[in-house]
Amino acid sequence: MFDKLHEECAVFGVSVKTDEAAGITYNGLMALQHRGQEAAGIAVLSENSILFHKNAGLVSEVFTGKVLQKLPKSRLAVGHTRYSSGGTAKNIQPFVNEFLTGRTATVNNGKIINADEIRKQLQACGLQFEADGHSEVISSLIAYNAMKSGNILEGTINAVSQLDGAFSLVILSNENKIIAVRDSNGFRPLCIGKNDSGMVVASESCAVESCGFTFMRDVAPGEIVVIENGEITHTTTFEPKIKKKFGLCIFEYVYFARPDSVIDNLSVYEARFNMGKVLANEFPIDADVVCGVPDSGLEAAAGYADESGLPLVTGFVKNRYIGRSFIFPTQSQRENAVRIKLNPLGASVRGKRVVLVDDSIVRGTTSAKIITALKCAGATEVHMRISSPPFKHVCNHGTDIDSAENLIANRMSIEEIRQHIGADSLGYISLDGLVDACRKSNLPFCDVCFSGGK
């Protein structure tokens, strides 16, 4: 509805010395809700059994007080919150597997390119599948290899070595283990936190800190971390059979992650602030004020204002009470959807030449409405600045663009886009400028969505 990319999901795992694993996981998923609002699930280890609850909805909708109370007290748990561009309720995670030598619950963030091939191989071995997504394939592959080897760690190593694509995994085993795995390219974030009661694993450090743990470090690309009784007991690395050179998805810094997270040694807030500073140098303009599009354009707008010397103002008031399932009964109301969620603040922009900063233009349907709203509120000029390069290529590793035809930058030149959205000028950050803004990260980046892999 609001013309933004969506990321697949978030993962969380906990191993503590008290019986609070389910509640901690719930809090962790609440902190990661921005990564997926379609469904949520939690699995806990109770004695030798893995029990779980999962359903469609926001975390707070799926896990009411009564539902949480019904989950057994446990010291180990994994959780997941999901966004998907398709699929059915059967794709909701965690996926729980029972096999001759054990039980596992697996949660995943990412997308596996060779999932269909692996599914056929496992079906030939007698395994059956209910879901049509990639994560059930991963969980079944891990369980199958664990059964063959008789060891969950060895089975995990053998399984993940066969995967081609993006994955950040957290596995709960009835051997009282939490196993965290990040793919060898480090496409998606995964980090570890610790306090006196034990350890957590999460997609972002904001969830670690929100649950009262101290951020320790990121899981390194290609690393497997085993946690038992609230302590790291083993770490190892794996070599993928299909080797490719990519890196962390740079869109994590542009849009996906929360600004209070730190990913691979770089603050998301700092990265976005730097993007705004680069934009001010690459595309200066004679204007009166700067404002950002809530929420992910705000930090870049602050950076633009800081570098340009222009005042930073609040351009929009965001309605924070519209849920994921907000319904617009008529076409005219649907056309006003953006104004329902983001209403311009006339006192800030009336009679002003405005620099408007946003993180991206994907399909181009929303920017025009936002600019029109600003001008209706009295802005005399609106100069749009985008903190990512033109988005031209389909991502195969977890975002929801299914066709390059849906990307406005593939159909129009920058000048044509400017005219289409009604901006007085339009500037996208350069790819070199974006990379420079994220230079403190200790990993290379995947920027295929901008560069096409060139």
Cα 219 from chain centroid (whole Å): 16
Of the candidates 9, 191, 206, 395, the residue annotated as catalytic is 9
3-state per-residue secondary structure call for 390-413: CCCCCCCCCECCCCHHHCHHHHCC
The Cα 181–Cα 206 span in angstroms is 19
Cβ atoms of 110 and 117 closer than 8 Å: no
Sign of the four-CA dihedral 366, 426, 267, 306: negative
The Cα 21–Cα 9 span in angstroms is 20
Give me the phi and psi of 256, to 5 degrees please: -65, -50
* Strand pairing report for 214-218 and 425-428: unpaired
Cβ atoms of 423 and 382 closer than 8 Å: yes
The Cα 157–Cα 160 span in angstroms is 6
Sign of the four-CA dihedral 356, 358, 360, 362: negative
Question: Is 9 part of the annotated catalytic residue set?
Answer: yes
Cβ burial of 140 (10 Å; 0-12, 13-18, 19+) is buried
Q: What burial letters (b/e) apply to 399-431, b meaning 16+ CB within 10 Å? A: bbbeeeeebbbeebeeeebbebbbbbebbbbeb
- Pick from 103, 50, 112, 39: nearest CA to 78: 50
Catalytically annotated residues: 9
